[in-house]
Chains A and B, each alone.
Chain A
Amino acid sequence: MKYLLNVTTLTHSPDKCTGCARCAEVCPRGVFEINAKKARITDKDLCMECGACAKNCAFGAITVNAGVGCASAVINGMLSGAEPSCDCGNDTGACC
């Protein structure tokens, strides 16, 4: 299943990439493949911006504005004027 198209903030710079394949290892959506010792984004729209690839890239080749794709988190953020944050941590915990 795919969500909205052309919205993800995922970027990959082949110049910095060493082809270590960590991104392909951690991506739960199969966005990356390794080709000729470089990672390559296969289908950007599969990305759900979890941030695993960027966090595990030791070479800073990947950027993504990571966060929880959760409406109640975004609405909480709108109401409190802060960054989206789901309330999984406290008693209301209905989110995930």
Chain B
Amino acid sequence: MNALKKPKKDENVAQAGEGCCGGPAPEGVAACCVKDAEAKAIGEEGCGCGTAPVQASTPPSACCAPPPKDPPLSEERKPCWSPASDFKPRATRVSSDLTLSDRLKHLRCRLGAYRMSYSVAPGLYAVGEPTKTSDVFVSANYGMSFDHLRKALKGTDSWILVLDTKGINVWCAAGKGTFGTAELVERMNSVRLAETVSHRRIILPQLGAPGVAAHAVKEKTGFRVYYGPVRAEEIKQYVEAGYKATKEMRTVGFSFSDRLVLTPMEINPAIKIYLLYALAILIIFGLSPSGISFREAFTNGLPFLILGLAAIFSGALFTPLFLGHIPFRAFSVKGLLTGLVSTLIVSRPLGIASMSPLLQGAVFLFFPALSSYIAVQFTGSTVFTGLSGVKRELKYAIPAYMAAAALTLLLVGAYKLKEWGLA
């Protein structure tokens, strides 16, 4: 597909029959066009075309008067629909093919901080050769949201309206309200959507619904909001079915691969903190009354460095991946279980069983709790955890984590005192 093809001439010229000023009137309203309907709604005469005869004394209003026969049409005296037909939509053309570079950007988004800077400019975009009757799809200005949409629209002639969501995806932006009624209405006005298309329907991603009140949009713009399917790749099916989504298209899935792609963002932050943890472990085990011994630090500290990694992977990778198979509903309990199992498995070859009981106690207290704490963070990435549930489990989990951390410090402290012969 040629992304930079020139628009066909006159494709966007309004047809008088479609409604002369601002598009056709809303259904069920006795008016010829949107301007007429608006005028009538506030008790004015309206522009007069298409409905009851205009009073003879009223001079034809500028908007919808029939084109005068004499003098002949000139640039100055155009027929009533001229204001709309003069309007050329200002849209940026985009391809619906994703390049290798686009895909690399997606990978970088999945892995780290690049996600915070991958955004597109808000405004109107054109896929294919959209006309006045083409559908309008709304997206967030996070690059990945926009890319998924334009790819899904391959082979269609469509408009894409990109809202300013500060580079955040649809779901999160809707939760915060940046993908919201106010921004949508403002953006529709600033790109002059009512003049760009002659119909009055706008298709939003279903996951934008927490931020947008469809009835308020209708009231403010005359456009009816249609919520499309959850997944962009089902958009064509949705349109072909007459703007109807099946129940399956309306519900969010959370498959193994859906969860897998989210895990790097669980592991990465934990690894950053792990470096601090590693430093602390080396200091604790290297510290002796005569100073710091690097050999002691490394040989005695190594098992705990490995246990720490195991806890991170059990909380940030295994718990998310096998979420549905791990017993109990609370994520803190799931993470505690995987943490216990991973600690048991790893501690055997590390010879933890032959260590001081004080250290053994600390190991089986601290690492499962760490895994649990990391697992709880995944509630932010799932598609089925609600605020009330997270609050409920944290009410118990947070005090438990604090107790586990305090006890661990006590046990390790007691162990060191004993080692130094002070207790």
| A, B in one complex | yes
Q: How far is the CA of A68 from the CA of B389 in the complex (A)?
A: 11
Contact A30 B247 (CB under 8 A): yes
B155 at the interface (CB under 8 A from A): no
- The count of chain B contact residues (Cβ–Cβ below 8 Å) is 55
A61 at the interface (CB under 8 A from B): no
A81 at the interface (CB under 8 A from B): no
Contact B209 A89 (CB under 8 A): no
Which residues of the other chain, B, contact A47 by a CB distance below 8 angstroms?
Answer: 386
Contact B376 A71 (CB under 8 A): yes
B176 at the interface (CB under 8 A from A): yes
Q: How far is the CA of A84 from the CA of B120 in the complex (A)?
A: 28
Within 8 A of B (CB), among A82-96: 84, 86, 88-89, 91, 93-96
In the assembled complex, the CB of B143 is this many whole angstroms from the nearest CB of chain A, namely 14
Contact A26 B166 (CB under 8 A): no
Within 8 A of B (CB), among A1-34: 1-5, 7-9, 22, 24-30
Q: Mark B222-262, 1 if CB is under 8 A from A, else 0.
A: 00000100100000000000000101001110100000000
Contact B113 A30 (CB under 8 A): no
Which residues of the other chain, B, contact A70 by a CB distance below 8 angstroms?
Answer: 379-381, 385, 390
Contact B214 A93 (CB under 8 A): no
Which residues of the other chain, B, contact A8 by a CB distance below 8 angstroms?
Answer: 386, 388-389
Contact flag A68-B175 (CB < 8 Å), given A3-B384, A3-B389, A28-B250: yes
Residue of A nearest to B244 (CB): A25
Which residues of the other chain, A, contact B391 by a CB distance below 8 angstroms?
Answer: 74, 84
Residue of B nearest to A91 (CB): B116
Contact flag A56-B212 (CB < 8 Å), given A7-B386, A30-B250: yes
Contact flag A67-B252 (CB < 8 Å), given A3-B329, A56-B215, A93-B113: no
Interface stretch, picked from B12-20, B25-33, B392-400, B413-421, is: B392-400
Determine which of B206, B376, B381 lies in contact with A96 in the assembled complex, contact meaning CB atoms within 8 Å.
Answer: B381
Q: How far is the CA of A9 from the CA of B166 in the complex (A)?
A: 29
B172 at the interface (CB under 8 A from A): yes
Q: How far is the CA of A25 from the CA of B246 in the complex (A)?
A: 10
B115 at the interface (CB under 8 A from A): yes
In the assembled complex, the CB of A7 is this many whole angstroms from the nearest CB of chain B, namely 4
B287 at the interface (CB under 8 A from A): no
Contact flag A71-B377 (CB < 8 Å), given A1-B323, A55-B211: yes
Contact A4 B254 (CB under 8 A): no
A41 at the interface (CB under 8 A from B): no
Q: How far is the CA of A41 from the CA of B245 in the complex (A)?
A: 19
Contact A91 B113 (CB under 8 A): yes
Which of B168, B209, B215, B254 gathers most chain A CB within 10 Å?
Answer: B209
Contact A55 B212 (CB under 8 A): yes
A48 at the interface (CB under 8 A from B): yes
Contact A29 B388 (CB under 8 A): no
B265 at the interface (CB under 8 A from A): yes
Which residues of the other chain, A, contact B376 by a CB distance below 8 angstroms?
Answer: 71
Contact B386 A88 (CB under 8 A): no
Contact B172 A88 (CB under 8 A): yes
Contact A7 B250 (CB under 8 A): no
Q: How far is the CA of A74 from the CA of B380 in the complex (A)?
A: 10
In the assembled complex, the CB of A83 is this many whole angstroms from the nearest CB of chain B, namely 10
In the assembled complex, the CB of A32 is this many whole angstroms from the nearest CB of chain B, namely 10
In the assembled complex, the CB of A72 is this many whole angstroms from the nearest CB of chain B, namely 6
Which residues of the other chain, B, contact A2 by a CB distance below 8 angstroms?
Answer: 329, 384
Contact flag A7-B324 (CB < 8 Å), given A29-B252, A88-B172, A91-B113: no
Within 8 A of A (CB), among B156-202: 166, 168-169, 171-172, 174-176
Which residues of the other chain, A, contact B176 by a CB distance below 8 angstroms?
Answer: 88-89
What are 11 A-B interface contacts by the 8 Å CB criterion?
A2-B329, A28-B252, A29-B384, A51-B210, A66-B210, A70-B390, A71-B390, A72-B377, A74-B387, A88-B168, A94-B269
Q: Known contacts A28-B383, A95-B380; can you find 10 more A-B pairs with CB under 8 A? A: A22-B214, A25-B227, A29-B251, A50-B175, A52-B209, A56-B212, A68-B387, A70-B380, A70-B381, A96-B169
List 6 tightest A-B contacts by C-beta distance, closest first. Answer: A70-B380, A52-B209, A67-B387, A49-B386, A26-B209, A58-B215
